[in-house]
Amino acid sequence: MTQKISTQKHQQNLISSYRKAYIYHYHNSQLEISTRNKLNHLYLQSLIILVLALASDPDIISDFIVPPNFNGMIDGSLFTFTGFRGIFDQAPKTFKGSKASLVEIPALNGQSVSYAVLQFPPNTLFPPHTRPDATGLLFLVDGSLELQTGDLFIFPKGLVHYQYNSDPQLPATAIAAFGSASARAVTVPPAVFTTGIDDAILAKSFNTDVGTTEKIKAGLTSS
């Protein structure tokens, strides 16, 4: 009888040991999975930060960068842009954006800033677009773009936005500044409808028919 009780107790001790070993192994496995998930999450966050950083202008270690093949004297003329002279002498018939970016001013290289003058005749718009490289600040000089004269509006980097002068008689003028020397504008309609995406895919995506997508494409091509 004593031997039987001893055997049962030994079996219970073994079961208890197995349970503890299982619980220990389970918790360690969960800890390992949790740690691995956290590391994967941190790795993904690092990649996102890296991509965002690469989408911005690089920092420079000098006050400015002398443009390639520049042989002139480094004075005020290097930093002067005269391309906006006479810009208001004749009103445009359609929307017009005049830029002062790295292309127009080579001295902007590394300065992380650029500029544009936006002119809107009556009832015109700058179609929906995004700027993947920079945040934009828009200052309304005159007219109305769903703002009031003197208003300043912020367009965060990458956000799809537009400007529309709905006034049927009066023009509007705005000045835009960007946090990049090369602030690209990616216009949404051409980016969607003129990049070779199949008409059936576009029709399904916009819950319409192929005939409608073909008309949109034709309108974009002729404009």
Q: What is the pLDDT along the chain (223 residues), one digit of tens a residue?
A: 444 445 555 555 545 555 554 445 545 555 554 555 555 555 445 544 444 444 567 777 788 888 888 888 899 999 999 999 999 999 999 999 999 999 999 999 999 999 999 999 999 999 999 999 999 999 999 999 999 999 999 999 999 999 999 999 999 999 999 999 999 999 999 999 988 899 999 999 999 999 999 999 888 876 5
The number of folded domains in the chain is 2
**pTM to 2 decimals?**
0.69
85 & 45 share domain: no
Host domain of residue 127 = 76-184
Please report the pLDDT score of residue 187 as a whole number.
Answer: 93
143 & 177 share domain: yes
Binding site: which residues?
129, 161
33 & 129 share domain: no
**215 belongs to a structural domain:** no
Binding site for Mn(2+): which residues?
129, 161
Let me know: does 119 contact 91? Beta carbons within 8 Å. yes
User: What one-character-per-residue DSSP string does 160-204 give?
Assistant: -EEEEE--SS--EEEEEEESSTT---EEHHHHHHSS---HHHHHH
Please report the pLDDT score of residue 59 as a whole number.
Answer: 77
Q: How many Å apart are CA 53 and CA 39, to the nearest integer?
A: 21
Nearest C-alpha neighbor of 115 from the set 183, 187, 57: 183
